[in-house]
Structure 1
Amino acid sequence: MTTGDEVAATLRRKRNMKCCAYIVIRVMLETIIIVMFALTVMRVKTPKVRLGSVMVEIHNTTTSSFNMRLIAKLTVKNTNFGHFKFENTTATITYEGAKVGQALIVKGRAKARETRRMDITVDVSSDRLSGASGTFTLGSQAKLSGKVHLFKIIKKKKSAEMSCTMVVDVANSQILNLSSK
């Protein structure tokens, strides 16, 4: 026969086992939450830089030369959970590999999980575009270097690069084709 002390000890053991099981389950759940947080929020991705649209203004057009201004919408898409702070840089416009214009991209910040839009203006003249008339293809490159700041504690260096090509129609003052990588 069992005594009252043996019954009480058995009940205490069962209660202690339940308590230990609850503690183990809670620790496992917290570990899973921390791992998921580290894999999603703390993973730093490279922001994306693209030309959204480009307007062309042709000035002083003659049969042999022209001056043109490109007004471009530049977007910096930040998919991180922290803001991307970038330094001053230049966007370069090229024609057949030769630099024909450049624009300053002023330092700034793309907020967490948002897209920052900026306007840049580049002056290009036909003096630097030998043999260009009718339609011609221009290239543009830029590299935004900066840091992604997570929770004001973690800072990761990232560089966002842009490479675009555009076909310019001088007669109609428009961009026929704009593609970015």
Structure 2
Amino acid sequence: MAKSRRPMMICCVATAVILIIIIVTAITLYFTIFKPKQPEITTQSVTLESFSTNVFDVEDTNVTLGITITIKNPNYGGFKYENSTSYVTYHGDVVAMAPVTADTIPSRGQHNVGATVLVIGKSLISNPNFLKDLATNTLNFTSTTTLKGKAIVLKLFKKKATTYSSCDVSLYILEKNATSYCKSKVKF
């Protein structure tokens, strides 16, 4: 009877060793290669598409900004996000909104998101900081976007993820151009 158990013991030990190797390999891969990383969000350009004002009626001021943001996905899995809205604020007041349509960023790929934002003058002028900023030739805006979606690894594993992006945009009125600084984070 001892001889009949020996092949069974060898089989069990070999199976246990193989399972341990697979588990250790999977954990190592998760913490090195497949560990979710923050996407890199870069503002490629913020252009002043139009700036119009009426000297006799300051409330008739309109600003149109063209914003192109590149989202780089450094992960080995794609990121599929839902429809969202990008908000533009001026000293805490929402002055414009732009829709962001749902899409997928492929693994280790990048995607350009473009939007045109119309800022209505009435929303700017009602802010007490407007005249002071107008005198310094600079209007400072903040653009925020939240993208909710799923990170997909190897088409098998799906993990909910939310990307938060915030861009500080400075609009130089006389030069008719703009600069921006963006930061982002991901919550899994």
> Deviation per CA, 1:152-177, whole angstroms, max 9, x where unpaired?
110001111111111111222111x3
Q: Tell me how far apart the structure 1 counterparts of residues 162 and 22 of structure 2 sit (CA, whole Å).
A: 34
| 1:56 positional shift | 0.5
Q: After TM superposition, give the deviation of residue 89 of structure 1 in Å.
A: 0.5
**Inter-partner Cα distance in structure 1 for 2:177 and 2:61:** 14
Report which stretch shifted further, 154-163 or 166-175: 166-175
Instruction: Classify 1:145/1:30 alpha carbon distance in 2 versus 1 (closer, same or farther; 3 Å).
Output: closer
Where does structure 2 lack aligned partners over 5 or more consecutive residues? 1-13, 184-188
Which residue in the other structure is 1:127 paired with? 122
What is the aligned partner in structure 1 of residue 180 from structure 2? 178
Which has more radius of gyration? 1
Identify unmatched segments of 5+ residues in structure 1. Answer: 1-22
- 1:54 match: 46
Following superposition, the deviation at residue 94 of structure 1 comes to 0.4
Matches of 2:24 and 2:162 in 1, distance apart? 31
**Normalized against structure 2, the TM-score is what?**
0.74
Question: In the alignment, which residue of structure 2 is the partner of 1:82?
Answer: 77
Residues 65 and 118 in structure 2, CA contact (< 8 A), matched pair in contact too:
yes
Counterpart of 1:9 in structure 2 is none
* Contact 1:143/1:161, CA 8 A, preserved across alignment: yes
> How many Å apart are 1:33 and its aligned residue?
4.4
The equivalent residue for 1:20 is none
TM-score after normalising by structure 1: 0.76
Paired residues, what number? 156
Check if 1:68 corresponds to 2:67.
Answer: no
